[in-house]
């Protein structure tokens, strides 16, 4: 049974459950999907796409928008 | 690979949360094109000289591309197109001006760049350097007013009959909510209602992306590799940020609420009477509802700070010279 996958998130290797969806990453990263576009291997992906072992995830800010964490001044 | 729910062929790049379907870039483009062309079909008239306010950012670049496709697909309308960038003079704008030129060239659309410094006598970068930290307004506030006035004046003097802008659904819902919260009925009506005759000296605007989410625009621009600047303006500040956050939170709770909100705001605005008495600004002669326009009020405020007289009519000499050559 598969347990976890390793993906590269903003240059760092992180371990995630094997069935993690792209849409779930927005919640994990605490970023709004209306201000940020997550790219998987440089391409946009539907929210209900599964991440795979070795995927490289980056994000693109599409507009200015503060997340609760940004609002409180905590550095991400 | 998660396949597109519509064509079943390509990889899905976008999920529409209100319908729950995931679609590929080609199907997303078809959907966005359908919505944008509906607006263009309803609001353009044959023979229009269309000036696209093209900053080189994602929204105006997609608006230019879709308007060009529309013009090419409807030769009977005999539309002429021109792409115009107002360079506010910021490091942020420099990259986008080059991308604007590139896209216009790839599409075969004539392009012109006019600097804000040339038209108004000041750049936003200069403002950013010279505004004291505790100044009552941000560069963003001045930029918005001066850029809008410049675009309208350029359109008028260059002979455009209509201006296409890249405002998307998110922009319009935010603006409508800001107008409502200020109780500014005239601005609400002006934002949402398209009218061909809005007053002497004012060129009507068309917003082909008004029913397209900003997120759809960004997804398409990246997935299709459309030349466009994807950075965010470093000067963005003000009331809009807070309003945007509230509206985005609502959309997360109730998918589709932005579309419904815009439709409802539009219905409300159709039943309202805008009491706008347009006149000419006593100083610069541009259309305004007050004796002295907002741009001149701002430039008067900045003249003492920058130690030079900024309060004068706009310098549109180069625009007027271009009038006879840009429409082909």
Domain layout of chain B by residue ranges: 26-273
Residue A2 has what pLDDT? Answer: 64
List phi, psi (to 5°) of B69: -60, -40
Q: Is the pLDDT of residue B268 over 60?
A: yes
Q: Which of A35, A46, A60 sits opposite B22 (nearest CB)?
A: A46
Q: Flag whether A35 is in a domain.
A: yes
B22–A47 C-beta distance less than 8 A: yes
Tokens of B104: 């216009």
Domain count for chain A: 1
A50–B232 C-beta distance less than 8 A: no
* Minimum mean pLDDT range among A51-65, B4-18, B210-224, B246-260: A51-65
Which residues of chain B have a CB within 8 Å of the CB of A49? 1-2, 11-12, 22
- The 10 Å Cβ neighbour count of residue B309 is 11
Q: Flag whether A75 is in a domain.
A: no
Band of residue B289 on the pLDDT scale cut at 50, 70, 90: confident
Q: Flag whether A50 is in a domain.
A: yes
Give me the CATH number covering residue A13. Answer: 3.10.20.30
Q: Which of B13, B17, B215 sits opposite A62 (nearest CB)?
A: B215
Query: What is the CA angle B35-B41-B43, rounded to 5?
Result: 105
State whether residue B161 is helix, strand or coil: coil
Q: Flag whether A26 is in a domain.
A: yes
Cβ pair B213, B255 in contact under 8 A: no
ipTM surpassing 0.90, yes or no? no
B116-160: per-residue pLDDT in tens? 999 999 998 888 888 888 888 888 889 889 999 999 999 999 999
The HSE-up count of residue B70 (CA atoms within 13 Å, CB side) is 30
Q: Is the pLDDT of residue B312 over 90?
A: no
What CA–CA distance (Å, rounded) separates B67 from B64?
5
B36-74: per-residue pLDDT in tens? 999 999 999 999 999 999 999 999 999 999 999 999 999
Q: Flag whether A32 is in a domain.
A: yes
Report the share of chain A in percent with pLDDT over 90.
Answer: 51
Q: Flag whether A72 is in a domain.
A: no
Chains A and B form CB pairs within 8 A to the count of 78
Band of residue B271 on the pLDDT scale cut at 50, 70, 90: confident
* Homologous superfamily in CATH for domain B26-273: HUPs (3.40.50.620)
Residue A76 has what pLDDT? Answer: 25
Which residues of chain A have a CB within 8 Å of the CB of B241? 64-66
A45: containing domain? 4-64
């Amino acid at each position: 049974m598969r347990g976890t996958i390793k993906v590269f998130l903003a240059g760092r290797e992180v371990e995630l459950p094997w069935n993690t969806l792209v849409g779930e990453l927005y919640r994990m990263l605490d970023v709004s999907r209306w201000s940020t576009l997550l790219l998987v291997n440089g391409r946009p992906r539907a929210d209900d796409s599964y991440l795979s072992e070795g995927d490289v995830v980056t994000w693109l800010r599409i507009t200015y928008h503060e997340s609760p964490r940004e609002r409180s001044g905590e550095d991400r | 690979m998660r396949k597109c729910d519509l064509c079943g062929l390509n990889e899905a790049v976008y999920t529409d949360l209100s319908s729950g379907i995931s679609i590929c870039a080609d199907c997303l483009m078809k959907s966005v094109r359908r919505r944008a062309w509906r607006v263009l079909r309803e609001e353009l008239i044959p023979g229009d000289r269309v000036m696209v306010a093209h900053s080189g950012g994602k929204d105006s670049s997609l608006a230019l591309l879709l308007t060009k496709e529309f013009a090419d697909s409807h030769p009977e309308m005999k539309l002429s197109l021109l792409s115009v960038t107002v360079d506010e003079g910021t490091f942020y704008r420099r990259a986008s001006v080059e991308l604007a030129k590139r896209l216009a060239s790839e599409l075969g659309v004539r392009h012109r760049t006019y600097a804000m410094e040339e038209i108004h006598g000041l750049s936003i970068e200069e403002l950013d350097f010279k505004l004291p930290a505790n100044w009552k307004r941000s560069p963003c506030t001045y930029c918005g007013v001066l850029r809008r006035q410049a675009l309208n004046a350029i359109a008028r003097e260059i002979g455009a009959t209509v201006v296409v802008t890249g405002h998307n659904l998110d922009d319009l819902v935010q603006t409508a909510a800001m107008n409502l919260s200020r109780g500014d009925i005239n601005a609400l009506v002006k934002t949402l209602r398209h009218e061909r005759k809005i007053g002497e000296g004012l060129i009507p605007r068309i917003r082909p992306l008004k029913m397209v989410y900003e997120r759809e625009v960004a997804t398409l621009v990246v997935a299709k590799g459309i030349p466009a600047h994807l950075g965010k303006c470093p000067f963005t500040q003000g009331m809009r940020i807070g309003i945007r956050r509230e509206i985005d939170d609502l959309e997360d709770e109730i998918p589709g609420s932005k579309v419904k909100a815009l439709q409802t705001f539009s219905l409300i605005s159709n039943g309202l009477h805008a009491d706008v008495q347009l006149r000419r600004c006593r100083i610069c002669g541009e259309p305004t509802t007050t004796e002295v326009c907002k741009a001149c009020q701002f430039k008067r405020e900045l003249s003492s700070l920058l130690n030079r007289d900024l309060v004068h009519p706009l310098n549109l000499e180069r625009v007027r010279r271009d009038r006879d050559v840009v429409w082909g």
